[in-house]
A = this chain, B = another copy of it.
């Protein structure tokens, strides 16, 4: 049975009750509009704990003016049904005033892995994410929290902040779930026209090409350029970045780093029409 809570005090009371019964608690933070990618994170939570709290909050502070806050897909009824079927036990769906009451004045910011990539194109994004994720984790205090690898830079930023602030929660990454043609599932895929949808798998293909190129001796800039060229040729009209980075710190890597086997990640973000898509992969296991 999925229980729905709307206030922090109700959430804490419910979790305290479950813990008293010996239950281990996982949390999956989401902005709703749930698809198979989110539901796989619920599976991962149920594998690591007895109960899963899913939070559903479209966080206004991580959208810049002019981004898609207003048209971001919302479907709480549909989300509830999916979560119930999948075995989540608590839906934490706060009203905005419960998250940001009058006089709210605190923010969490993370350097290190948040530098570059998304931050170059969405400068306010990780400030908003870091603050709301800190709040969500401290509201629920789960044993473990699961975040999708689809938002890979976000996952590394969250790992950093949880370590740095000593938040007593274990962070787990969950795998990216893909459509049959390789497109990473995302709530924003709903924005794509039929033609854009047909072109969208080129993002993953571009990441694979960049990954193969850098493992076959191209320099990182050459390999990144090869990936970007594939996107341009496939109908993407603007490439924010294709980047080959250290998988943990997201620092740039040299050919020497690559030859010595440091963990790598290829990350990309690009625009199809009005829609911005992101994806990433491990070039040693996925190309």
Partner of A168 from B130, B134, B141, B163 at Cβ < 8 Å: B141
Q: Are B106 and A108 in contact (CB under 8 A)?
A: yes
User: Nearest chain-B residue to A248 (Cβ)?
Assistant: B103
Interface size bracket, A side: 20 to 34
A21 at the interface (CB under 8 A from B): no
C-alpha gap A134/B168 in the complex (Å)? 12
Partner of A106 from B103, B164, B168 at Cβ < 8 Å: B164
Partner of A104 from B103, B114, B164 at Cβ < 8 Å: B164
Contacts known (A8-B166, A141-B168, A168-B141); A106 close to B135, Cβ less than 8 A? no
Instruction: Determine the chain B residues whose CB is within 8 A of the CB of A114 once the complex forms.
Output: 105
Instruction: Determine the chain B residues whose CB is within 8 A of the CB of A134 once the complex forms.
Output: 165
Minimum Cβ distance to chain B for residue A183 (Å):
32
Q: Are B108 and A107 in contact (CB under 8 A)?
A: yes
Q: Are B105 and A165 in contact (CB under 8 A)?
A: no
Q: Are B160 and A105 in contact (CB under 8 A)?
A: yes
Instruction: Determine the chain B residues whose CB is within 8 A of the CB of A138 once the complex forms.
Output: 138, 165-168
Which 4 pairs show the lowest CB-CB distances between chains A and B? A105-B112, A106-B164, A105-B111, A138-B166
- What are 18 of the A-B contact pairs (CB < 8 Å)? A103-B160, A105-B110, A105-B113, A105-B114, A106-B109, A106-B110, A106-B111, A106-B130, A106-B161, A106-B165, A107-B109, A109-B109, A134-B165, A135-B166, A138-B165, A138-B167, A138-B168, A139-B166
